[in-house]
């Protein structure tokens, strides 16, 4: 008879303890690919998020409480991305998430956000579907492929010789296929001829068949969409096969290994980035960029990782601001507050406009896009 009350007391005590622990901090769930085919990018974004949390907590946190990241690895796999969301929402009870690097992982996660009513700030995803499918819990700070294509089109005159015909080399997922579609549409409207479209599996390492097929296609530019690892392989293998076309990469990833281990001498590649640490002084808010870069450097993280680390940094700044505006760390209040966020970030000004079907709109930011060139391990602005 004595056991029951004792058990109840113990249980009650444990519950109280965990309650107290949960109340000490404001938790933010993070779902990123820390392993698998796009692990490099996910790791950079997570490190950027950590720096933002340190920065905010150093200034006293939000609503008088420190922020705490609960980080889960989605293993570059849409199925695992769903698992991470369920774990973060159900077990860790996070009121808001950041994730999930890439359109495919984000799209897979989105139904869970709606099911449980938890908002997510999407730091990386370029498929238009993310914000047009009518999920009111999604707020994207990264550009869509269409925005990228339009930004690229504005810079067409900077390319010499001029771009007349393009081919595509795209990773076989929502991101790669979506980007190819958007760039085709925009470039065709500018009178540029569109040639072949070649596809690579997300885990492929040998791209020689695709590249050899593009070699004599008569185009002058190949638009490549994939993560850090495949961009590195594509550029190196294109140079090895004597591909004469200009390579332009989209999606904001940068083939960082080529800085230390450049391919053949004189080979130039062009990259669409959302933050360029090489030309940070020209960004919209150089002081914020500087704070972020200094913190990154202090940790000894690799310099080129700054190009993607800012995504996590800006996303956490956005979430923290929304919690501050909401006045409480509750999912619905944070979602409503995200619409009111007006913030200066590393990429530029962050604010959301409505996209998607009326009454069920998602939030979309209008970020800045930078174009840079890489040659012999050296980076310069276009």
Cβ 124 to other proteins, closest distance in Å?
16
DSSP 168-236: EEEESSHHHHHHHHHHHHHHHHTT-EEEEEEEE-TT----HHHHHHHHTSS-SEEEEE--HHHHHHHHH
CA pair distance 325, 275, nearest whole angstrom:
27
Alpha helices (H) along 59-119: 78-86, 103-116
Cβ 62 to other proteins, closest distance in Å?
30
Cβ 217 to other proteins, closest distance in Å?
10
Cβ 238 to other proteins, closest distance in Å?
10
Cβ 128 to other proteins, closest distance in Å?
21
Cβ 160 to other proteins, closest distance in Å?
25
Instruction: Encode burial over 93-125: b for 16+ CB neighbours within 10 A, e otherwise.
Output: ebbbbbbbbbbbbbbbbbebbeeeebbbbbbbb
Which is closer to other proteins, CB of 161 or CB of 242?
A: 242
Both tokens of 114, joined, read 């709606």
DSSP 229-269: HHHHHHHHHHHHTT--SEEEEESS---THHHHS--STT-EE
Give the orientation angle of helix 78-86 with respect to helix 103-116, to 10 degrees: 30
DSSP summary character for residue 34: -
CA pair distance 235, 237, nearest whole angstrom:
6
Which is closer to other proteins, CB of 135 or CB of 210?
A: 210
Which is closer to other proteins, CB of 5 or CB of 266?
A: 266
Which is closer to other proteins, CB of 186 or CB of 238?
A: 238
Alpha helices (H) along 26-163: 39-58, 78-86, 103-116, 129-132, 145-154
Cβ 161 to other proteins, closest distance in Å?
22
Which is closer to other proteins, CB of 27 or CB of 236?
A: 236
Which is closer to other proteins, CB of 240 or CB of 330?
A: 240
Which is closer to other proteins, CB of 157 or CB of 216?
A: 216
Cβ 336 to other proteins, closest distance in Å?
36
Both tokens of 242, joined, read 């004597």
Which is closer to other proteins, CB of 30 or CB of 39?
A: 39
Both tokens of 142, joined, read 């990264």
DSSP summary character for residue 156: G
Which is closer to other proteins, CB of 294 or CB of 376?
A: 376
CA pair distance 261, 348, nearest whole angstrom:
31
Residues that bind other proteins (CB under 8 A): 33-37, 39-40, 42-43, 73, 172, 198-201, 203-206, 208-210, 212-213, 215-216, 228-229, 232-233, 239-242, 257, 260-265
Cβ 273 to other proteins, closest distance in Å?
18
Both tokens of 248, joined, read 């332009």
Which is closer to other proteins, CB of 37 or CB of 106?
A: 37
Residues 6+ apart with CB under 8 A from 176: 170, 199, 200, 225, 226
Cβ 214 to other proteins, closest distance in Å?
10
Do 377 and 262 contact (CB within 8 A), yes or no?
yes
């Amino acid at each position: 008879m004595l056991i029951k009350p004792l058990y109840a007391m113990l249980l009650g005590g444990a519950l109280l303890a965990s309650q107290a622990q949960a109340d000490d901090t404001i938790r933010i769930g993070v779902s990123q690919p820390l392993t698998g085919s796009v692990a490099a990018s996910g790791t950079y974004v997570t490190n950027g998020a950590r720096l933002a949390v340190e920065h905010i907590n150093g200034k006293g946190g939000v609503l008088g409480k420190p922020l705490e990241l609960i980080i889960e690895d989605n293993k570059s796999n849409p199925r695992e991305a769903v698992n991470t969301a369920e774990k973060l929402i159900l077990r860790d009870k996070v009121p808001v998430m950041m994730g999930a690097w890439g359109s495919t992982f984000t799209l897979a996660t989105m139904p869970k956000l709606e099911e449980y009513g938890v908002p997510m700030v999407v730091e990386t995803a370029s498929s238009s579907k993310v914000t047009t499918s009518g999920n009111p819990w999604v707020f994207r700070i990264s550009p869509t492929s269409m925005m990228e294509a339009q930004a690229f089109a504005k810079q067409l005159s900077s390319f010499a010789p001029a771009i007349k015909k393009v081919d595509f080399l795209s990773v076989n997922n929502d991101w790669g296929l979506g980007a190819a579609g958007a760039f085709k549409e925009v470039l065709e409207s500018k009178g540029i001829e569109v040639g072949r479209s070649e596809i690579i599996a997300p885990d492929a390492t040998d791209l020689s068949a695709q590249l050899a097929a593009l070699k004599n296609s008569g185009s002058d530019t190949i638009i490549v969409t994939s993560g850090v690892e495949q961009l590195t392989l594509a550029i190196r293998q294109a140079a090895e096969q004597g591909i004469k076309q200009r390579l332009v990469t989209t999606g904001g990833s940068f083939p960082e290994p080529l800085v230390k281990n450049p391919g053949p001498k004189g080979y130039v590649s062009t990259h669409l980035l959302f933050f360029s640490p090489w030309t940070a002084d020209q960004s919209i808010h150089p002081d914020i960029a500087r704070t972020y870069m200094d913190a990154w450097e202090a940790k000894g993280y690799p310099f080129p990782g700054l190009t993607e680390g800012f995504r996590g940094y800006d996303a956490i700044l956005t979430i923290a601001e929304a919690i501050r505006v909401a006045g409480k760390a509750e999912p619905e209040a944070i979602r409503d507050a995200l619409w009111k966020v007006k913030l200066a970030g590393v990429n530029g000004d962050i604010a959301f406009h409505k996209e998607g079907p009326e009454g069920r709109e998602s939030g979309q930011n209008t970020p800045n896009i930078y174009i840079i060139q890489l040659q012999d391990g050296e980076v310069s602005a276009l």
